[in-house]
Structure 1
Amino acid sequence: MLDAKSTAARPGHAPSDHPNVTTPKIGVLVANLGTPDNYDYWSMRRYLGEFLSDRRVIDYSPWLWQPLLQLVILSKRPFTSGEAYKSIWNHAAGESPLMTITKAQTAALAVSMQDRYGDQVIVDYCMRYGNPSTRSKVRAMVEAGCRKILFFPLYPQYAGATSATANDAFFAALAQEKWQPTVRTVDPYFQHPLYIEALAQSIETAYAKLERKPDILCCSYHGVPERYLREGDPYHCQCQKTTRLLRERLGWDESQIKTTFQSKFGPEEWLKPYTVEEVARLASEDGKKSIAICAPAFSADCIETLEEINEEIRESFEHAGGEQFTYIPCLNDDPAHIRALSAVIEENLAGWLE
């Protein structure tokens, strides 16, 4: 998606055999988690192998973890994960919804940057796992003449297993460059006013379409081991603050909104309450027969929202006696979300462009 015009020419003072030099540009590289190339066994195995081998994601000793991963988990999980991906796959485009949405976000951001800066800025996207790789997109940006690159992991809240590993891949890609560009990475934007506004608008829009107002809204964030909080990861605190700021913007009291965490993996305790258990408790013990769920930690709908929330967690709620389950989609390429992301980009380009 390197759509800015690039020109290359030999510097006027250089000898005739000097290679052409491209006109300097600024690159904005947005990054998301990643997606398998397909939902067949081998595509899923490659993707899950890369994802679950990341020490930022699973920090157990490789001597213990890798035999379990390679011999047990990757023998079985690609089948179940593949079926889950198949149920939400964008068959028309031959790609996952996350890929489709990330492309749409990037295209919208490119238009926004074009309107603001003309041809000075190139916008593209990469994935931490799978394709297109961070390495390939850094290389393409350098070849297109980007002497400065702003790297933007699309995670509102910082976590070592998301933002940090995305940055790791970016820095590793830079290590392969002969002439490294000047770079910046974007801070988490969990409390940015336009991000909170976009979240609030999405909830107000969804509620306005319902005949019955939900008894409670669960803000379901992707979970991490509870141990990470004790080790200094700020993710839990940033999730709680996002929920609080959202509640204040909506003008609600604390009984109308709740923070929960999903996608628990492995034997140890993760951040609680677990969404899948909490929705059942809300229905069976608290008598909440109508609930809504949003996913503020996800910038785009993906397997964790379209399959886990809208299928597994919905089933848990309904099995416990719940009657009305409303999933509020991620912000995706909604104009309010693009305005928020554009504002974050512009703030981080300060000093590089007028």
Structure 2
Amino acid sequence: MKLNILLGCLILLFASCKDDTDDNQGGYIPVPASIDIPVIFNTLLPAPSIPVDNPLTEEGIALGRKLFFDTALSADNTLSCAGCHRPTQGFSDQQQFSIGITGEQGVRNSMPLVNLAWNTTNSFNWDGSAQTIEQQILGPVTNPVEMNNTWENVVATLSVDADYTLEFEQAFSTTLITKELVTKAIAQFIRTIVSGDSKFDRHLRNEATLSPLEAEGLAVFLDEDRGDCFHCHGSPSNPLWTDNDFHNNGLDETFTDLGLGQFTGDPNQFGLFKSGSLRNLAYTAPYMHDGRFETLDEVINHYSEGLVFSETIDPLMKSVAQGGVQLSPEDKAALKAFLLSLSDPNLANNPAYQGPN
């Protein structure tokens, strides 16, 4: 009799635990997902960096995509993440400074959100002020010159939407919406944004041939006595086309925006900004952290004859005493042709990166 009673209690306890688990998961288990990785990336790069506490799932990515294009994240329901990171513009903004909901402008150009899953330096934003994509997402929502909202208001808005309640339950096994889950979902979507189908990528896959001008431009890019670009922006062996590190590239003698130094407080890092990827330059103008250069020709001219000295100038700017690398007009034309070959015309048309219908 005692044994039967004990067995009965154990069965009830097991059933109670099982029911609690089922209630927590809503009876739905998210489907694991992965990034569609280009062959060249698989060959030359380490695996994408996916946080243990935010694995990719089909439901999480779909939810993040919806949130990325949803203006409900802004205080007046007029601005979404995609408002400053447009797929047609390489997930950046062709305005020098994006305009927030109050009509104010920021002080930095919108960074492209492409291939961020391979950022192994664990530093994001122009100044390295975010250590993860999840952290990077937090700021724009509350920034008074961007979305000018509060996370409490965002959560309240999403929580009364029955569709979102279901989608969060399917993605994260809970109907309790939090800012942490919002940022996790958007980060999942951003990690899937991959650009790896430029003409140069097709050239590496033996599917296209560089023109003589583009091929010469690559030679200029890799030549330390001419372009000397590869130290900060990689080479064909680094398909990210950035070292994801921070440099003072000779833009100013003094700084009003301290860049990395503004975040760390280290004077030796004043004026250091993250190297932008050279991918999709055909779509991501204007250029530099403050969008000061409207054209790619201006960028090339800067490195050719526009460098200026400051106390934190990067040692890689070896020709600063001469004002730059002093490219010939022919070298400039070739370099520009090569750089444009790194643009991916299919990025903007990829249905996986479009807003919900």
Normalised TM-score (structure 2): 0.33
Structure with a larger share of its residues in strand: 1
